[in-house]
Amino acid sequence: MKISLVNASPNTGFDERERRKSIASFPPLGILYLASVLKETGIEVSVLDQPAEGLTMGETVNWVEKEDPDILGFSTFSSSGRTAAAISHEVKEKNPNVIILFGNYYATFNAERIFKKYPSSVDVTVRGEGENTIIELVDCFDNRGNLKEVHGITFKDGEKIVSTPDRPLIKDLDSIPFPDRRLIDAEYHCDIAGANVAPKKFTSIVSSRGCVYKCRFCSCTRFARNMWRPRSVENVLEELCFLAGEGYEQFIFTDDSFTLNQKRVIKLCRAIKKEKIDMDWICEGRVDNCSYEMLREIAKAGCKVLYFGIESANQRILDYYNKQTTPQQSEAAVKSARKAQIDIVVGSFIVGAPNETREEIQNTIDFARRISIDIPQFNILGVYPGTDLWNEFEVAGLLDGGEYWETGIAVSEICPTAVPLAEIKRMIHDAFYGFVRRPSFILGQVARTLKSSYRMRVLMDNLSQIGEIREGIRAVA
């Protein structure tokens, strides 16, 4: 059998008349892992990253038609599920015999809804991890097997929607072949506020899966069943050496909990130094898992950008999110990152909780100004299928799941006690511009850039894109 896998473009702003190439996306590792597993078993496979290629829906349908696969799979999120459904509908119109699979978060948490809305466009949804599932599915379709024997899927049997038992998570991540990045001919970059912070050959890598925390706004907890599974340091190092040999110079760890085991991170960083892997990299970290020792090791191993999920300056709101951190830990983590000489420190914040007051939102904005971060990212709290907040709002009667399951919705649009959405947007806009226009901030950024060859290189690379950066800043604000 021949299989084609597609990473669909975002639903919003999709203009069939215009090619829109993304310059701020990472390689779709999920389907690249699937492709590697399929290739290892001798199956012919092709991959398309629609946003990276900038293809319209019509061009994507034409690509599928030329590939002429027996099975077409889509990696789907709330941001791209409707695009995938529209493409699959057009594909089915041209070739009713092609078998269409939906996977990833959108498919996992909306399996039955997908079949009710798109009964003729999707044949099977794959829930959770897909590496073992897709091999069994291919064998099942190839040999006319019984879909009910394949765990981790949902499908239609006549008029009945059938969900098989969940598939166990893969325990030994080292057993999965590396994602085959050669299957996609696209250029990727890491974008912050419109500026490309990874101007050299860039990719992403995942060194672990899952998360043990239970933040109420995050769907990772349910997707990974509140478990964290690391790859061995040796296995990660082997992939990094391979990437360096392929000419990659920069990468980002896309782990949900990269710094969970600090001893493992330190071991990996020391191994990177020992192997003399000269690559710049980016990662995220929790403010309660960031000792100075670990931060210093990641800096010496090439980490240039560190994201902290700070979320709020108000303990009451942090407790509501079940973040299990404190503002004091956030402030200390940023100080440690500065002392460890991380080049760029990004702080991510979430505002707009149901009972969060204007004063509390302003307190978070003031906190972002006070601590020594380079870039603040202000996000408005939203609810999506798979999160605790989604379930709680449905039970409380504040959320119509049948209306918002494909897109999610901002809490401030459905909760009468929240600060109105338009007001929050104004506060965020003013906060961002107020942050970057402060004389003290500008002088501090100049001083740090003069001391950092990495920051200087990023600055020079982006000077030719000032107009695009300004648009990116507006989008963030």
* Domains by residue range for the chain, with CATH: 2-163 (3.40.50.280), 189-476 (3.80.30.20)
Backbone CA torsion sign across 271, 335, 466, 204: positive
List beta partners, residue 328. none
Pairing of strands 382-383, 409-410: antiparallel
Q: Where are the beta strands (DSSP E) in 321-460?
A: 344-351, 375-380, 382-383, 409-410
Write the CB contacts of 157 (distance below 8 Å, at least 6 apart in sequence).
Answer: 147, 148
- Tokens, residue 25: 């996306």
Q: Report how far apart, in Å, the C-alpha atoms of 476 and of each of 65, 438, 439 are.
A: 37, 18, 21
Q: Produce one character per residue of 203-241: b if its CB has 16 or more CB atoms within 10 Å, e if not.
A: bbbbbbbbbebebbbbbbbbbbeeebebbebebbbebbe
Count of Cβ atoms closer than 10 Å to residue 66 Cβ: 9
Evaluate whether 473 touches 193 at the Cβ level (below 8 Å). yes
The 10s digit of each residue's pLDDT in 194-203 is: 778 888 899 9
Evaluate whether 277 touches 248 at the Cβ level (below 8 Å). no
The 10s digit of each residue's pLDDT in 385-444 is: 999 999 999 999 999 999 999 999 999 999 999 999 999 999 999 999 899 899 999 999
Q: Please state whether 42 falls in left (phi above 0), alpha (psi between -120 and 50) or beta.
A: left
Q: How far is CA 134 from the centre of its chain?
A: 22
Q: How far apart are CA 460 and CA 452, in angstroms?
A: 12
Write the CB contacts of 234 (distance below 8 Å, at least 6 apart in sequence).
Answer: 271
Residue ranges, the chain, pLDDT below 70: 12-24, 464-477
Q: What are phi and psi of 301, to 5 degrees?
A: -90, 0
Residue 13: per-residue pLDDT: 47
Q: Produce one character per residue of 277-306: b if its CB has 16 or more CB atoms within 10 Å, e if not.
A: bebbbbbbbbbebbeeebbbbbbebbbbbb
Sequence letter at residue 393: F
Q: How far apart are CA 346 and CA 284, in angstroms?
A: 9
Residue 458: per-residue pLDDT: 87
What is the distance between the terminal CA atoms of the chain, rounded to a whole angstrom? 47
List beta partners, residue 101. 73, 124
Pairing of strands 124-126, 99-103: parallel
Name the 3-class secondary structure at 251.
strand
User: What is the pTM assigned to this prediction?
Assistant: 0.92
Evaluate whether 361 touches 427 at the Cβ level (below 8 Å). yes
Write the CB contacts of 80 (distance below 8 Å, at least 6 apart in sequence).
Answer: 7, 8, 9, 10, 11, 106
Rounded to the nearest 10°, the torsion over CA 81, 35, 152, 78 is -20
